[in-house]
Amino acid sequence: MRPSLRTASWLVLCGLLAATLPAAAQPTWPERPIRLLVPYGNGGPTDIVARAFAESMSRQLGQPFVVEARPGGGTNIAASLVAKAAPDGYTLLISNIASNVLNRALYRRLDYDPGGFAQAGMMARAPLCLLVPPNSAMRSLADVMARARARPEGLTYASNGMGTPTHLVGEMLRQRTGLNLTHVPYAGSAQSNIDVLAGRVDFSFDSCTQQGADRTLAVTYPERWPSLPHVATLAEQGLAGMDLTTFFGIAAPQGTPDAVLAMLETTIATAAADPAVVARFAPTGFVPFVLTRAEATAFIARETENWTRVIRAAEISLD
């Protein structure tokens, strides 16, 4: 049926009005390059994941995503810069467990709110592994607990530094079991792993890329990790609820337009499903972790509540 003259005139009028709307009324983001701040140095897992996603997101949106390393301050430098940036979608943060979960409880004086970001979505995650020296007689979590209880001095465990996930999961183990554990912090995983390998420290929780078939006793994840199907979880070995995954997402300043966040959410999910992107960051031990904005916000809230309890019970403060 042909439209009436009145209907046809109305459609023409609507088309003319849409064409003459001011540019500000139409979604135009992105119109220029987007800064993606990484709170760690170049070449690490965060940088690798960020660059893999940045390439895909640039292709999808037609504008460069410029990955910019801003290390220091326990991730607070990069996080503060993004929190204070204009909420226009052109300055974004690679969010992670430190900047968006742990730092709220670890630092009493921050010039930004770690929980105040607008979450655009999640990209990737990985658990930690319970590692022992290759010549250790401990071959299970039960062995670790028995050895700690049998020795008056208990056991030592290495971490990548005070307040890091590798420290706090060991602290959670101490709180949950009452074991006598002494924390030995290092300035990063390279030296800590050397000392665990040499047997100078009894065990550590570290990246599962450091694993060996003869020294990985557990993973900090509710289910067996795909790349380590032979390694039992902490829950399977009697410690349910001791789950920790390090994660990477993308966060924006509070007040970023919903339309921009929605575009980012879709773009992140598309990149996470791209086999070429996954292949780029797979050697880091991370796997895709796709959450909507609402799911990412809820996930971070749960993680914050969980780890704040651990930090406050241990009276850990970094300032």
Shared-domain flag, residues 121 and 62: yes
Shared-domain flag, residues 204 and 138: yes
Shared-domain flag, residues 119 and 162: no
Query: What is d(CA 284, CA 45) in angstroms, rounded to the nearest whole number?
Result: 6
Query: What is d(CA 258, CA 256) in angstroms, rounded to the nearest whole number?
Result: 6
Q: Residue 152 belongs to a domain with what CATH number? A: 3.40.190.10
Residues 222/232, Cβ–Cβ less than 8 Å? no
Q: Is residue 319 part of a domain?
A: no
Give the tens place of pLDDT for each residue, 247-284: 999 999 999 999 999 999 999 999 999 999 999 988 88
- Phi and psi at 267, nearest 5°, equal -65, -40
Predicted pLDDT of residue 214: 67
* pLDDT(4) > 80: no
Q: Is residue 25 part of a domain?
A: no
Predicted pLDDT of residue 115: 86
Q: Is residue 3 part of a domain?
A: no
Give the tens place of pLDDT for each residue, 150-178: 999 999 999 999 999 999 999 999 999 99
Percentage above 90 pLDDT, the chain: 78
Q: What b/e string do you get for 273-291 counting C-beta neighbours within 10 Å, with b at 16 or more? A: ebeebbebbbebbbbbbbb
Shared-domain flag, residues 214 and 139: yes
Q: Is residue 76 part of a domain?
A: yes
Tokens encoding 156: 């030592």
Domain span at residue 51 reads 32-125+246-314
Predicted pLDDT of residue 48: 93
* pLDDT(9) > 60: no
Question: Which among 219, 237, 261 is the end of a domain?
Answer: 219
Shared-domain flag, residues 121 and 260: yes
Shared-domain flag, residues 112 and 261: yes
Q: Is residue 225 part of a domain?
A: no
pLDDT range class, residue 19, cuts 50, 70, 90: very low
Query: What is d(CA 186, CA 212) in angstroms, rounded to the nearest whole number?
Result: 21
Q: How many CB atoms lie within 10 A of CB 47?
A: 19
Question: Which among 201, 219, 237 is the end of a domain?
Answer: 219
| Mean pLDDT score across all residues of the chain | 89
Amino acid at position 311, single letter: I
Predicted pLDDT of residue 213: 60
Shared-domain flag, residues 275 and 145: no
Q: Residue 85 belongs to a domain with what CATH number? A: 3.40.190.150
Q: Looking up tokens 């003869």, which residue turns up?
A: 214
Predicted pLDDT of residue 18: 40
The mean pLDDT value for 135-159 works out to 96
Question: Which among 168, 200, 219 is the end of a domain?
Answer: 219
Q: Are strands 216-219 and 118-131 parallel, antiparallel or unpaired?
A: antiparallel
Measured CA to CA in angstroms, residue 4 lies from 7, 12, 128, 256, 304 at distances of 5, 12, 68, 44, 60
Q: Is residue 26 part of a domain?
A: no
H helix and E strand count, the chain: 11, 10
Shared-domain flag, residues 201 and 65: no
Shared-domain flag, residues 119 and 250: yes
Q: Is residue 277 part of a domain?
A: yes
Please give the torsion angle defined by the CA atoms of residues 283, 301, 238 and 168, in that order, rounded to the nearest 10 degrees.
70
Q: Is residue 190 part of a domain?
A: yes
Shared-domain flag, residues 113 and 81: yes
Shared-domain flag, residues 119 and 45: yes
Give the tens place of pLDDT for each residue, 66-112: 999 999 999 999 999 999 999 999 999 999 999 999 999 999 889 99
Cβ within 8 Å of residue 231, ≥6 positions away: 129, 211, 216, 217, 218, 219, 224, 225
Query: What is d(CA 191, CA 160) in angstroms, rounded to the nearest whole number?
Result: 9
| Cis, peptide link before residue 275, omega less than 30° from 0 | no
Shared-domain flag, residues 93 and 170: no
pLDDT range class, residue 34, cuts 50, 70, 90: very high
The mean pLDDT value for 210-236 works out to 87
- The number of distinct structural domains making up the chain is 2
pLDDT range class, residue 11, cuts 50, 70, 90: very low
